[in-house]
Amino acid sequence: MKANFEAARALYARTKAEKFALGAFNIDNQETLIAIARAAQAKQSPVLVEVSAGEVEAMGLHNVRCLVDNYRHEYDIEMYINLDHSPTVEAAKAGIDAGYEFIHIDLSQAKKDATDEEIIAATKEVVEYAKTTGALVESEPHYFGGSSNVHTEDINYDEIRKTFSTPEEAKGFIDATGIDTFAVAIGNLHGLYPVPKQLDLDLLAQIRAAVPGYLSLHGGSGTPEDHFRGAVAGGISKININSEMRKAFRAGLEKVLADNPKEYAIVKLMPEVIKGVQDVVELKLEIFGSAGKANER
């Protein structure tokens, strides 16, 4: 298990040195995990599988660990787990105990009125506990909005700009907590919207120049390719994708069900669904620059 954490840290260091980003892809079923594994194999890319609180509740914290390990060996790929948006210190510690290599503590998601002092204290506690395994810890001062779904409303940038990160805030938070990764808010937003997202790459450059460590980009779905490439060139080491995969999964499932109204062995219909999600992941791995970056195992 110790080798997993050492390899994860070495990989993360390479993202900065070689200018690529790790794709962090949420799963809420085994089929989506298979799609990620096949994409990683096809592109010879390292990947992060991630689960948030609802997905942990559905699949089981330790079950996910075992599934990822099994598929990592089966497909001979470089694959790690990120516990995404842990709402409590206890949940983050449970992920550390379960051997997750990446841990994201986000106290303000569950406790919207959490004070800066509470968020810093909780994050510091997780950072200290993570030393027991070597897990990398990610956080940010406040949850910046949206949800991992397909939205019909436009993005109100006048409003979300109020929640953008600043170089001073990012540096202060990192210094106060000791986190490995700071989750920036630069125009990214959880979910998929009818309009493309617009990242403030100039702001990203200012943040990158002001802080040590790693930077992550949540809410990646629906971001134009050139903005992704600019973010990677600007120092982003990890990009989260969820809603685009969910949309592909549902669209694929609806199609195969409609095309096969008399088939009740759903497992026979899943290859097309899996392939649709795999296509989404493969494209992102190319855009993020991680294709061909997997370490030999």
Q: Catalytic residue numbers? A: 84
DSSP state, residue 22: E
Burial status of residue 86 (CB atoms within 10 A of its CB: 0-12, 13-18, 19 or more): buried
- What ranges make up the beta strands (E) of 226-270? 236-241
Count of other CB atoms within 10 angstroms of residue 131: 11
Q: What is the 3-state secondary structure (H, E, C) of 111-162?
A: CCCCCHHHHHHHHHHHHHHHCCCCCEEEECCCCCCEEEEECCCCCCHHHHHH
3 state DSSP class of 183: strand
Rounded distance between C-alpha atoms, residue 297 and residue 292, angstroms? 13
